[in-house]
Structure 1
Amino acid sequence: MEAVSNQAMRILRLFGNTTAKKISVYAGAEQEYFLIDRELYNKRKDLIFTGRTLFGAAPPKGQELDDHYFGSIKERIACFMHELNVELWKLGVSAKTQHNEVAPAQHELAPIFSDCNTATDHNQLIMEAMKRIASHHGLACLLHEKPFAGVNGSGKHNNWSMGTDDGQNLLDPGKTPHENAQFLIFLTAIIKGVDQYADILRVSAASHGNDHRLGAAEAPPAIISIFLGDQLQDIFDQIEHGEATSSLQGGKMRVGVNTLPYLNRDATDRNRTSPLAFTGNKFEFRMPPSSGSISGPNFVFNTIVADALKEFADQLEKAEDFNEAVHDLIRDTYIAHKRIIFDGNGYSEEWRQEAARRGLPNISNTVDAIPALITDKAISLFERHHVLSRLELHSRAEINYEAYIKQINIEAKTMIDIASKQIRPAVLKYAGSVAQSLAAIKSVGGDTSVAEELLQEINENIAQFHKALKHLEEVAEQAQLLQGSSRSQAVFCRDYVFEAMQALRVPADALEMLVDEDVWPFPTYGELLYNI
């Protein structure tokens, strides 16, 4: 935050601001979470030990009707939200909005903006309070990024802006943004910083849990890009080809019913598939994990913006014609970094191909993201602004690898435990009862085709299940004995242990659909997501 303030003040002085003495960074983190019945939670070892379900067949109904998203908040959940708000207000956390999210049993809370350090602390208090207060209502709060396969996961949308101590929002375009050179300088600095250090920004949002969410056609893709909106995009297009002489207006939305008035439409409305969108007077970074701290994404964003502002100030302070230098700087920087601007569907395969053509990094998992912390580029950046040293960056990389390895190990051991002690005994017991029924039907000359087909499907899947379980046990043990660097261990966990976990889940979820629900040893997705 000091780095941003120091460099932004240089820019402000060049634009004639003599009253501001400090720049503050502001943040507001929207927190997504799931609430499920605590009694059901207590019957799921995977939720208890890992925070997510490691097994579970899809329920008959998911989120396809959007009826949870657009529906009213259930009374039990509303009571939880009310107590949560009261407790947070006591702590000085001004929680402002609360609503259902798109997945069943998913919700969101958003606080009022505050300075970046305070916002970070507030978000930690919010997560702690959610966990504690949920138990008061017989609920369990899940903050994992992907607690349920097949429905949307949870993120933490980090809204970021800069403001002066004399009351000016530096990311507010004003009524005539095409005439607001100061605003365009700050905006261009962000574009430059994000493009230049996209890999570092990506690792700030990386975690094992977030690997399940990013790029899954429900959250931002793993490719960093910026959405500016029609109005700002039009201004930059004008600047690129000469002078910006006008700004697009928001216009009106036609609602189709004569008895309703036309509604104002924001020309800078956000693209919800974009990982970083300009939303009027701030940027919304939509990649951070729901269970993590926003400190990482914010200190990275602060530093890369400070670095771009430093370059701008160094150049503008030497300019003979300031206005001409500002125009040229905005134009040249935009042209050099406009590859990071994208307003289309970030979930599409076409964007992945286009991003590759543009040379944008597509870092799909945490293990591949971590090395960005210890490149010469990253070390030079953070040391240049006295944010982190080389040793501190190497420490963070080591800690991230270690966390990834331990999380995979815990999940693997939990899967082995559930598969061995719960699923396999329940399926064999049920198969035995089907075999007895088959023998009984056959003894009276009845049609055994249905029972025979069911028993055959069970036998095929339990055989596949047993084989996959043995393989997971083997690779999990190998991971424990593996020597070498933390990175090599993390790569092994990703390529072998995690893949073995995925392979075990397939027959397990198939068996869930074959076995009597009274025999299945733990609550299903249907019960977890809808029994509130």
Structure 2
Amino acid sequence: MKISELFGNLTFNEKVMREKLSFEVFRRFKATIEQGEPITRNVAECIAHALKEWALENNATHYTHWFQPLTGLTAEKHDAFLQFHDGGTPIERFYATELMQGEPDASSFPSGGTRTTFEARGYTAWDPKSPCFIIEGEMTNTLCIPSVFFSYNGDSLDKKSALIRSTMVLDEAAKELLGVMGYPIPQHVHVTAGAEQEYYLINREMYRQREDLMLTGRTLVGAPPIRGQKLSDHYFGSIPPDVKAFMEEVELELYRLGVPCKTRHNEVAPSQYEIAPVFEEVNIAADHNQLMMMMLKQKAAERGFALLLHEKPFQGLNGSGKHNNWSMSDETGTNYFSPGRNREEFLRFLCFLVAFVNAIHLHGVFIRASVASASNDHRLGGHEAPPSIVSVFVGSALEQVLTDLKNGNFTELTGMEMIKAGLKYVPQIEKDNTDRNRTSPVAFTGNKFEFRAVGSGQPLGFPNTVLNTAVAESMRSLARMIRSEISAGRGQEESTLAALSAMLEQCDRVVFNGNCYSREWKEEAKKRGLSNLRATPEALRSAFGSESEAAFLLEAGVLNQTELGARYEIKVEEYAQRVEIESRTLLKLIRKDIRPALVQQMKDLDYLDWGIRTHYREAVGQLERDSARLVGELEGLREVEGSEKQAQFCYGSILPLMEKIRDSVDFLEEETDRQLWRLPDYDQLLGHR
């Protein structure tokens, strides 16, 4: 079986369109995709008819506008192709209006106060740049039409709309920068992205015995495993046969949906794995990542597994993220983060590199906020996850180039060195210009930047929206600086170098190539004026609550004030709700599963040493007192008005108490007879026993 033969056979891709559409309709559609020309009604009718015929050939009975509301998930409402002709004859029909526009009820989706419940109207609109696809069901198949979602007033109610706007802003800014530098201006500059999707895969029966995993996605209690990841023998190890079969099935389904899967491997922690795609245009990459998460969940359930996309399902083990690989390229294949082969290309590379570094320097607070969530807070800063201080790693060679540039000297990278391994018959390998730094939140890795703080369950839309807009602003700023130098009478290259030197004077404090986990870096970052926003409420308030921090999104037209406020309100509300759900789940675990085991164990302890008995009972007493306090704090939460204050209350009062309760439970678990303990422990969940 060749992957190339089945790839995309469930997508309405260019190959299918060439077969189904007339030459003129196909040409007009390509003009829409590539030049932004509006689709005429006649062209839309032709596409709708061809799309319907193709869908029916693939056994589709329904269609849906597939969109990404601000819940972070996907949404769909299925409508049948079935209609009735004169005389009641059944027939399948699909009109241009049904392709281009849908009207789901918007009142039940989060809107952050932009809509009231009685204002229900919302609209979906077809995104022609993202290919339509078919999802197969047990009995029938459904045609999915990737779409944006907005309110009656035109405000964005989804993750996709702002992302598309940000790509348009970045395209114009990149072309402006290239023009002022004297380089040929391409037709389009687009962002490419690829998310290395990490996940845990555990036995479904064990999962169903842990109500905390089922309701919150993470273990709220659990003593450390005996083995865990101590031996470092899971990373890149042999993939277990049942897991490999699962991966193969997922990949085959994704290939058919046009998702270009590339890599699969064991991750660091036991039962943790990764799947990574070939990088694509960011809008399509965001859609494909949603399909990837959906397919992983679906196939895991079918094969007796439970898929965990929580950023920190197991305390003390590596969390799960999705490293967001970000770059810029054009229709010729030129990658603007590739150092190039000559002085001219290297100078162009430096302009885009410095603009990116400046964007991180100016908007590190908002970049941190773009990945803020209750679940990701547990991951950031430990076990190979990046810390909450946003810095950039560029490697020692590039750091020297940037230092020289800031000081007025233009030096190029030296030629590639060969790694000397002392093995005569083994092929020689070229050494990269940069090493890897797994502790850095943003790292340059040769021809792209890797934003490592995105959580495993988070959509790609908003983090990339923020990155795109921030980099676009910096590119425009650099273009203005170069233009100013040229106006002062300097030559092209001299003007570019002077502007780069001036920008580096402002932004090089965000560059750090050392250990981002170290105490020394935290102290140094504070001296440099870099923010350390460890908790979501603080990160969101610092970003969304500051006019100066949010101005770049408003000025670029990527979000308006209403949309910005809505996203803040939704994020803080979700934070408070998730913490409340976790705390109530913890109390339920104590009542149903933990307390009965402790009561029985205390009866058995009557026959043991007085000291052991006393120590155990003291721990039980502390647990009961803290549990009662947690009940009281939850009652107090009801009295707190406003989502922002509720989120702060959850962080300051409820979470610390939950951690204290966990410490008691984890100690008691290790001291309680295994036969009495009702919850599967970490060793069982991770397949060690």
TM-score (norm. length: structure 2): 0.73
Mark the CA change 1:19 to 1:504 in structure 2 (over 3 Å): closer, same or farther. closer
Partner of 1:500: 657
Is contact 2:203–2:685 with CA below 8 Å preserved after alignment? yes
Is contact 1:52–1:147 with CA below 8 Å preserved after alignment? yes
Partner of 2:628: 470
Partner of 1:486: 643
Query: How many Å separate the matches in 2 of 1:193 and 1:70?
Result: 34
Query: How many Å separate the matches in 2 of 1:179 and 1:168?
Result: 10
SS in structure 2 at match of 1:9: helix
Structure 2 counterpart of 1:67, from 233, 245, 269: 233
Structure 1 counterpart of 2:341, from 175, 181, 200: 175
SS in structure 2 at match of 1:212: helix
Partner of 1:443: none
**What does 1:355-366 correspond to in 2, within 5 Å?**
355-366=525-536
Instruction: Kindly indicate whether residue 604 of structure 2 is the aligned counterpart of residue 458 of structure 1.
Output: no
Is contact 2:311–2:376 with CA below 8 Å preserved after alignment? yes
SS in structure 1 at match of 2:539: helix
Q: 1:32 offset after TM fit, Å?
A: 0.5
Is contact 2:198–2:320 with CA below 8 Å preserved after alignment? yes
Partner of 1:441: none
Is contact 1:177–1:183 with CA below 8 Å preserved after alignment? no
Query: How many Å separate the matches in 1 of 2:282 and 2:346?
Result: 25
> Kindly, what percent of the aligned residue pairs are identical?
40
Mark the CA change 1:363 to 1:178 in structure 2 (over 3 Å): closer, same or farther. farther
With 51-60 and 316-325 compared, the bigger mean Cα shift is at: 316-325
Mark the CA change 1:136 to 1:177 in structure 2 (over 3 Å): closer, same or farther. farther
Q: Cα deviations across residues 473-498 of structure 1 (Å, max 9, x unaligned)?
A: 11111112322x32211111101111
Partner amino acid, structure 2, of 1:299:
T
Instruction: Kindly indicate whether residue 675 of structure 2 is the aligned counterpart of residue 527 of structure 1.
Output: no
Partner amino acid, structure 2, of 1:323:
E
Instruction: Kindly indicate whether residue 544 of structure 2 is the aligned counterpart of residue 373 of structure 1.
Output: yes
Is contact 1:379–1:390 with CA below 8 Å preserved after alignment? no
Partner amino acid, structure 2, of 1:237:
T
* Higher RCO, 1 vs 2 (CA within 8 Å, ≥6 residues apart): 1
Partner amino acid, structure 1, of 2:564:
L
Query: How many Å separate the matches in 1 of 2:532 and 2:588?
Result: 35
Q: Cα deviations across residues 67-118 of structure 1 (Å, max 9, x unaligned)?
A: 1114211111101100010111111111100001101110011011110100
Partner of 1:141: 307
Structure 1 counterpart of 2:328, from 146, 154, 162: 162
Query: How many Å separate the matches in 1 of 2:332 and 2:656?
Result: 55
Structure 2 counterpart of 1:265, from 424, 428, 431: 431
Query: How many Å separate the matches in 2 of 1:176 and 1:58?
Result: 54
**What does 1:202-213 correspond to in 2, within 5 Å?**
202-213=368-379
Partner of 1:444: none
Mark the CA change 1:187 to 1:246 in structure 2 (over 3 Å): closer, same or farther. closer
With 250-259 and 57-66 compared, the bigger mean Cα shift is at: 250-259
SS in structure 1 at match of 2:379: coil
Query: How many Å separate the matches in 2 of 1:171 and 1:97?
Result: 22
Query: How many Å separate the matches in 2 of 1:517 and 1:46?
Result: 19
- Counting matched residue pairs gives 518
Partner of 2:586: 415
Instruction: Kindly indicate whether residue 263 of structure 2 is the aligned counterpart of residue 117 of structure 1.
Output: no
Instruction: Kindly indicate whether residue 553 of structure 2 is the aligned counterpart of residue 386 of structure 1.
Output: no
Q: Cα deviations across residues 357-386 of structure 1 (Å, max 9, x unaligned)?
A: 111111111010002123212342112111
Partner of 1:512: 669
Is contact 2:410–2:497 with CA below 8 Å preserved after alignment? no
Structure 2 counterpart of 1:341, from 503, 507, 511: 511
Partner amino acid, structure 1, of 2:554:
E
With 425-434 and 128-137 compared, the bigger mean Cα shift is at: 425-434
Query: How many Å separate the matches in 2 of 1:502 and 1:33?
Result: 24
Mark the CA change 1:150 to 1:369 in structure 2 (over 3 Å): closer, same or farther. same
Partner of 1:425: 596
Q: 1:259 offset after TM fit, Å?
A: 5.4
Is contact 1:36–1:531 with CA below 8 Å preserved after alignment? no
Structure 2 counterpart of 1:3, from 169, 194, 209: 169
Is contact 1:234–1:248 with CA below 8 Å preserved after alignment? no
**What does 1:83-122 correspond to in 2, within 5 Å?**
83-122=249-288
Structure 2 counterpart of 1:227, from 384, 390, 393: 393
Structure 1 counterpart of 2:494, from 308, 324, 328: 324
Partner of 1:33: 199
Partner amino acid, structure 2, of 1:13:
G
Q: Cα deviations across residues 36-81 of structure 1 (Å, max 9, x unaligned)?
A: 0000000000000000000100011111211111421111110110
Partner of 2:72: none
Query: How many Å separate the matches in 1 of 2:241 and 2:226?
Result: 24
Query: How many Å separate the matches in 2 of 1:299 and 1:179?
Result: 27
Mark the CA change 1:311 to 1:108 in structure 2 (over 3 Å): closer, same or farther. same
SS in structure 2 at match of 1:266: coil
Partner amino acid, structure 1, of 2:496:
V
Partner amino acid, structure 2, of 1:498:
L
Query: How many Å separate the matches in 2 of 1:174 and 1:116?
Result: 23
Q: Which runs of 5+ in 2 are unaligned?
A: 1-166
Query: How many Å separate the matches in 2 of 1:305 and 1:48?
Result: 39
Query: How many Å separate the matches in 2 of 1:99 and 1:434?
Result: 46
Partner amino acid, structure 2, of 1:458:
Y
Q: Cα deviations across residues 403-429 of structure 1 (Å, max 9, x unaligned)?
A: 000000000000000011210111101
Query: How many Å separate the matches in 1 of 2:371 and 2:302?
Result: 31
Instruction: Kindly indicate whether residue 444 of structure 2 is the aligned counterpart of residue 274 of structure 1.
Output: no
Partner of 1:13: 179
Q: 1:388 offset after TM fit, Å?
A: 0.3
Partner of 1:442: none
Instruction: Kindly indicate whether residue 557 of structure 2 is the aligned counterpart of residue 399 of structure 1.
Output: no
TM-score (norm. length: structure 1): 0.94
With 240-249 and 491-500 compared, the bigger mean Cα shift is at: 240-249
SS in structure 2 at match of 1:335: helix
Q: 1:400 offset after TM fit, Å?
A: 0.7
SS in structure 2 at match of 1:99: strand
Partner amino acid, structure 1, of 2:499:
L
Is contact 1:19–1:166 with CA below 8 Å preserved after alignment? no
Structure 2 counterpart of 1:43, from 209, 223, 227: 209
Is contact 2:319–2:383 with CA below 8 Å preserved after alignment? no
Is contact 1:38–1:138 with CA below 8 Å preserved after alignment? yes
Q: Cα deviations across residues 493-518 of structure 1 (Å, max 9, x unaligned)?
A: 10111111111111111111111111
Q: Cα deviations across residues 123-154 of structure 1 (Å, max 9, x unaligned)?
A: 11111111110012210000000000011100
Query: How many Å separate the matches in 2 of 1:162 and 1:303?
Result: 13
Query: How many Å separate the matches in 1 of 2:482 and 2:420?
Result: 45
4+ runs deviating over 6 angstroms: none
Partner amino acid, structure 1, of 2:586:
M
Query: How many Å separate the matches in 1 of 2:463 and 2:576?
Result: 22
Q: 1:208 offset after TM fit, Å?
A: 0.5
Query: How many Å separate the matches in 2 of 1:267 and 1:334?
Result: 20
Partner of 2:363: 197
Query: How many Å separate the matches in 2 of 1:379 and 1:67?
Result: 44
Mark the CA change 1:250 to 1:471 in structure 2 (over 3 Å): closer, same or farther. farther
SS in structure 2 at match of 1:513: helix
Q: Which runs of 5+ in 1 are unaligned?
A: 439-447
Q: 1:262 offset after TM fit, Å?
A: 4.3
Mark the CA change 1:233 to 1:406 in structure 2 (over 3 Å): closer, same or farther. same
Mark the CA change 1:248 to 1:217 in structure 2 (over 3 Å): closer, same or farther. farther
